[in-house]
Amino acid sequence: MSLEDRVDELVSEIAAVDHEAARQARTRHDSLIKPKGSLGRLEELGIRLAAIAGTCPPPVPQNPAVVVAAGDHGVLAQGVSPWPQEVTAAMVAGFCDGHAAVNALALVAGARVTVLDVGVASDLPSHPRLRRAKVRPGTSDLCVGPAMSRSEAAAAVVAGAGVAQELIGAGVDLLVAGEMGIANTTPAACLIAAFTGRSPEEVTGRGTGIDDATWEVKVKVVRAALEFHRPEVSDPLGVLAAIGGLEHAALVGLILAGAAGRVPIVQDGVSTNAAALVARALAPRVGDYLIAGHRSVEPGASIALQSMGLEPLVDLGMRLGEGTGGLLAVQIVQAAAAALRDMATFEEAGIA
């Protein structure tokens, strides 16, 4: 089977969420010992979890995992970021050693950390936390040609799906999408512009905190890439290959396999949201399995979430990536499920 066929197979494995379970959750919420609707969006989230799990009450996630997909980017040569490419590998080493923000936040969320190398420019030493599935050592410059080939994009999707399947097989019941890759907000902006139709100025943000001059370069690069490739959203894999990143492709696979396994996927920032747009274009049902963990400062993140009808759970002005914003939502997701599972109804409590 070709890599593209394996992507198609993944897509075909995604079932519709269970609207009957959602209906049961909605009815149950109205019977629990509280004023109707008083848990606000926590009720909506519980209903979504019931639909994903296909049962009410939905299980309370006990084994969350964050997957940090990593890759490098040829477009860095255009000057879209002040950080050198070597920082990607250095941060991956930090994730493995447990000294990065994602490790700190995963610890308090009770989440395991898995790092996936699909495209870091340098060779990385093996580590128990690292899945080595390098497709190529970074993309080509998407300004002057495709970032990667279709089969490379498909290979990264399959690698991301493989990690999700491994984790789900090991009992993981909540996936948090994370990423690392110097310059990766540029392909993220390209993807978001392509799939939402918004302008380069609207979707391009300041990433790690670039200055005005660098931002203008970045907008020009995004515009040039879109003009060069003329992305056709009816061919999501083609768009991903032309203007995406290897870690974005891996996250597409993570999202597809998570949905196929009926495991909710908590989104982090702009790169995970860009990947979600690609995944949803491949498999429209995927949208129902996504949870927007937080609202990143990046404007493209809000544009992507809005186009998917997702409202973030946390909004703390963060713009780090790695899965950090998604991890902050883990307890909220658990709470939404626990309310449906643990609360008594007025009838059970003997309150008229």
Please, which residue, 7 or 42, has the CB nearer to a copy of itself? 42
CB of 279 to a copy of itself, least distance (A): 25
Binding residues for a copy of itself, how many (CB under 8 A)?
57
Site string for a copy of itself, 49-68 (x = CB under 8 A): -----------x--------
If binding is defined by CB under 8 A, does position 98 make contact with a copy of itself?
A: yes
Q: Can you tell me which of 64, 94, 261, 287 binds a copy of itself, judged by CB under 8 A? A: 94
347 catalytic per annotation = no
Q: Can you tell me which of 42, 147, 175, 263 binds a copy of itself, judged by CB under 8 A? A: 42
Please, which residue, 233 or 343, has the CB nearer to a copy of itself? 343
Reported residue count of the chain is 352
Instruction: Report helix, strand and coil shares of the chain as percent, to nearest 5.
Output: 55, 10, 35
DSSP secondary structure letters along 86-136: HHHHHHHHHHHHT-SHHHHHHHHHT-EEEEEEEE-SS-----TTEEE--SS
* Measured CA distances, 330 to 63, 171, 250, 266, 302 (Å): 10, 16, 22, 8, 20
Rounded CA Rg of the chain: 20
If binding is defined by CB under 8 A, does position 125 make contact with a copy of itself?
A: no
Site string for a copy of itself, 296-315 (x = CB under 8 A): -x---------------xxx
- Binding part of the chain for a copy of itself, among 145-153, 211-219, 253-261, 321-329 by CB under 8 A, reads 321-329
Report the helix count and the strand count for the chain, using DSSP H and E: 16, 6
Selected catalytic residue, list 43, 247, 298, 322: 322
Instruction: Give the whole-angstrom CA distance, residue 329 versus residue 106.
Output: 11
Please, which residue, 193 or 327, has the CB nearer to a copy of itself? 327
307 close to 203: Cβ distance less than 8 angstroms: no
If binding is defined by CB under 8 A, does position 33 make contact with a copy of itself?
A: yes
If binding is defined by CB under 8 A, does position 40 make contact with a copy of itself?
A: yes
Please, which residue, 45 or 148, has the CB nearer to a copy of itself? 45
User: CB within 8 A of 181, min separation 6: which ones?
Assistant: 70, 71, 72, 73, 88, 119, 120, 245, 246, 247, 271
If binding is defined by CB under 8 A, does position 140 make contact with a copy of itself?
A: no
Please, which residue, 16 or 33, has the CB nearer to a copy of itself? 33
* Measured CA distances, 186 to 15, 129, 190, 201 (Å): 32, 27, 6, 12
306 close to 221: Cβ distance less than 8 angstroms: no
Which positions from 329 through 348 interact with a copy of itself, judged by CB under 8 A? 330-332, 334-335, 338-339, 341-344, 348
Q: Can you tell me which of 128, 169, 171, 350 binds a copy of itself, judged by CB under 8 A? A: 350
DSSP secondary structure letters along 219-246: HHHHHHHHHHH---TTSHHHHHHHH--H
The position carrying tokens 């493989």 is 162
Catalytic residues: 322
Residues in contact with a copy of itself by the rule CB under 8 A: 32-42, 60, 87, 90-91, 93-94, 97-101, 103-105, 107-109, 208-209, 297, 313-320, 324, 327-328, 330-332, 334-335, 338-339, 341-344, 348-351
